[in-house]
């Protein structure tokens, strides 16, 4: 009798297992044929990955479509840090900062062109978002100070390692672990329209066009910094500029939202990053200056306070001979920031055993350079820069060897994009939201105004990516 019951139980379990497998296969097959997801996310950069994790946490089925063969987008190149205020990490380190100051710094940096409600949400949600990222497995234990910030609030991995690649690695793993599906080499060409509302995406992959239905869509496709035609249509003076952007940052989303009367905020606000290696278009993070480097021209002199905003420094460099300058630092600065090791390995640094040796290699007057560094060191000792008013001088430049890298401005960040509200809903020209359409990250406009502060892009993709994913899932489930 016992044997008979056991046999029947095993048979029942096998039938149940097969049934579950069939249901799962049918679900996957239906999704693959485009029958639909709760949420489709366009783009697998930091904003898209944050949205995917948040949407899955809210119980939505999620598909990410990415036109590149890899994840990350421009987030792969982010180095300086992720700005946040009143965080658990700051408090543990005894760093005094306030969310109100973070808000004021961001508005001031953006020349008050920013939409206040978007900035308020960015800053108010930053501390909780840092804790959320840490819970996903992210290391944000190191804190630095970037240009335009009153206090140290740029969170990054231990030792000042680049934050972007780490963010992508952790959040991609978190999204996959949570059950989000990802399709690479899949380019979105438009949005599906149903009853006047977005109802999924039209994609091109392997030479075929396909429709993927979704109850909600999150656009996280990045900016247009790699599209010279759009750049120069808004800013003709940037013709011929290099770019720090990856090749997929082409602004495709602007066309997708036109059938829904989608609006744009500040598309003419385009930022150049001041410290980009000419021709190679490799960005040198602002954190190098934040950790003590100075900027000198071909005469060996400083010409601006190094921690000013990116637009001011870019303009100052373009006013120098050759329209480039040298970022100069010593072994002490190198040892303070892991990101510099990457530049060294790429052969970007010019090294001198002494300032005289370095000056010879740069073909600038040695006596002038030595006098300039000596003068700067006196400011650092006195904690007062009487020449340019630099407030933050963490160390002297005195430990051999000495290093320099030639830098100049290149197109870096497009502050303008799709108009959104603080729920990450895409807006029409009259300010109403487009049902079921959300956006986050550099594809949007209004958060950064006329100038983005270093560290705020990472805050933007995390805070608004999370908001977009959460709200898209709620919309899909009719909540």
pLDDT in tens, 66-81: 999 999 999 999 999 9
* Rounded Cα gap, residues 323 and 274, in angstroms: 11
The string of pLDDT tens digits covering residues 325-335 is 999 999 999 99
For residue 44 the two structure tokens come to 């697998």
With 50 as the cut, is the pLDDT of residue 434 above it? yes
For residue 229 the two structure tokens come to 């035609």
Peptide bond before 419: cis, by omega within 30 degrees of 0?
A: no
Just list the catalytic residues.
310
Contact indicator for 50, 90 with CB cutoff of 8 Å: no
Q: Is 318 exposed, middle or buried (0-12, 13-18, 19+ CB in 10 A)?
A: middle
- Supply the pLDDT for residue 32: 42
Q: Is 306 exposed, middle or buried (0-12, 13-18, 19+ CB in 10 A)?
A: buried
The CB-side HSE value for 91 (13 A sphere, CA atoms) comes to 9
For residue 230 the two structure tokens come to 């759009």
Q: Which of 414, 475, 416 is nearest to 37 (CA)?
A: 475
Give the domains, in start order, of the chain with CATH numbers. Answer: 73-181+219-269+415-476 (3.50.50.60), 273-410 (3.90.700.10)
The string of pLDDT tens digits covering residues 5-40 is 444 445 444 544 444 444 444 344 444 444 599 999
Between these two residues, 183 and 29, which has the higher pLDDT value?
183
What is the rounded average pLDDT of the residues 364-376? 98
> Which residue's entry shows tokens 């740029």?
154
* Rounded Cα gap, residues 450 and 109, in angstroms: 8
Query: Of the given ranges (26-30, 228-232, 258-262, 330-334), which has the lowest mean pLDDT?
Result: 26-30
pLDDT band at residue 265 under the 50/70/90 scheme: very high
- Supply the pLDDT for residue 479: 74
Q: What is the average pLDDT value for the chain, to the nearest integer?
A: 93
Query: Of the given ranges (21-35, 199-213, 343-357), which has the lowest mean pLDDT?
Result: 21-35
* Rounded Cα gap, residues 125 and 119, in angstroms: 10
Distances (CA, A) of 304 to 275, 314, 388, 432, 450: 13, 10, 6, 44, 20
Which residues neighbour 5 within 8 Å (Cβ) at sequence distance 6 or greater? none
Q: Give the β-pairing of 154-156 and 264-265.
A: unpaired
CB count within 10 Å of CB 348 equals: 17
With 90 as the cut, is the pLDDT of residue 433 above it? yes
As a whole number of Å, the end-to-end CA separation of the chain is: 52
- Supply the pLDDT for residue 15: 43
Contact indicator for 223, 460 with CB cutoff of 8 Å: no
3-state SS record for the chain: CHHHHHHHHHHHHHHHHHHHHHHHHHHHHHHHCCCCEEEEEECCEHHHHHHHHHHHHCCCCEEEECCCCCCEHHHHHCCCCEECCCCHHHHHHCCCCCHHHHHHHHHHHCCCCCCHHHHHHHHHCHHHHHHHHHHCCCCCCEEECCCCCCCCCEEECHHHCCHHHHHHHHHHHHHHHHCCEEECCCEEEEEEEECCEEEEEEEEECCEEEEEEEEEEEECCCCCCCCHHHHHHHCHHHCCCCECCCCCCCCCHHHHCHHHCECEECCCCEEEEEEEECCCCEECCCHHHHCCCEEECCCCCCCCCCCCCHHHHHHHHHCCHHHCEEEEEEHHHHHHCCHHHHHHHCCCCEEECCHHHHHHHHCCCHHHHHHHHHHHHHHHHHCCCCCCCCCCCCCCCCCCCEEEEEEEEEEEEECCEEEECCCCEEEECCCCEEEEEEECHHHEECCCCCCCCCCHHHHHHHHHHHHHHHHHHHHHCCC
Burial 352-385 (b: 16+ CB within 10 A, else e): beebeebbeebebebeebbebbeebbebbeeeeb
pTM of the model: 0.83
Contact indicator for 211, 196 with CB cutoff of 8 Å: no
Contact indicator for 426, 418 with CB cutoff of 8 Å: yes
């Amino acid at each position: 009798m016992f044997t008979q019951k056991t046999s029947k139980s095993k048979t029942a379990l096998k039938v149940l297992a097969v049934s579950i497998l069939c249901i799962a296969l049918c679900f996957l097959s239906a999704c693959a044929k485009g029958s639909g997801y709760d949420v489709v996310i366009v783009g697998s950069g930091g904003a898209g990955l944050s949205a995917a994790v948040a949407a899955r946490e809210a119980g939505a089925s999620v598909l990410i479509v990415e036109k590149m063969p890899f994840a990350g987008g421009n987030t792969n190149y982010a180095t300086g840090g992720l700005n946040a205020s009143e965080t658990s990490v700051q408090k543990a380190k005894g760093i005094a900062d306030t969310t109100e100051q973070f808000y004021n710094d961001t508005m001031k940096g953006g020349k008050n062109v920013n939409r206040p409600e978007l900035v308020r949400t960015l800053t108010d949600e930053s501390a909780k978002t840092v804790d959320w990222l840490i819970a996903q497995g992210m290391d944000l234990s190191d804190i630095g100070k970037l240009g335009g910030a009153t206090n140290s609030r740029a969170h990054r991995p231990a030792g000042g390692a680049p934050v972007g690649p780490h963010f992508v690695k952790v959040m991609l793993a978190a999204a996959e672990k949570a059950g989000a599906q990802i399709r690479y080499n899949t380019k979105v060409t438009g949005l599906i329209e149903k009853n006047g509302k977005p109802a999924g995406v039209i994609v091109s992959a392997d030479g075929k066009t396909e429709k993927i239905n979704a109850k909600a869509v999150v656009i996280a496709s990045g900016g247009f910094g790699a599209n010279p035609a759009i750049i120069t249509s808004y800013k003709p003076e940037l013709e011929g500029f290099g770019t720090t952007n990856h090749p997929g940052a082409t602004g495709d989303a602007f066309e997708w939202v036109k059938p829904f009367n989608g609006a744009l905020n500040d598309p003419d606000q385009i930022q150049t990053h001041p410290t980009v290696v000419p021709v190679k278009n490799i960005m040198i993070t602002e954190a190098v200056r934040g950790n003590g480097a100075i900027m000198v021209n071909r005469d060996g002199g400083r010409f601006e306070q190094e921690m000013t905003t990116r637009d001011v420094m870019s303009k100052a460099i373009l006013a120098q001979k050759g329209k480039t300058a040298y970022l100069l630092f010593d072994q002490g600065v190198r040892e303070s920031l892991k990101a510099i090791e990457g530049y060294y390995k790429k052969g970007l640094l010019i090294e001198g055993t002494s300032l005289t040796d370095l000056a010879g290699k740069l073909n600038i007057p040695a006596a002038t350079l030595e006098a300039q560094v000596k003068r700067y060191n006196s400011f650092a000792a006195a904690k007062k820069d009487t020449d340019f008013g630099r407030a933050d001088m963490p160390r002297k430049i005195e430990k051999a060897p000495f290093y320099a890298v030639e830098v100049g401005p290149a197109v870096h960040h497009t502050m303008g994009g799709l108009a959104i509200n603080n729920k990450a809903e895409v807006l029409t020209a009259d300010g109403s939201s487009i049902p079921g359409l959300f956006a986050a990250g550099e594809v949007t406009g209004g958060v950064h105004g006329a100038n983005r502060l270093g560290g705020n892009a990472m805050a933007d993709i995390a805070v608004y990516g999370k908001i977009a994913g959460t709200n898209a899932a709620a919309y899909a489930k009719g909540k």
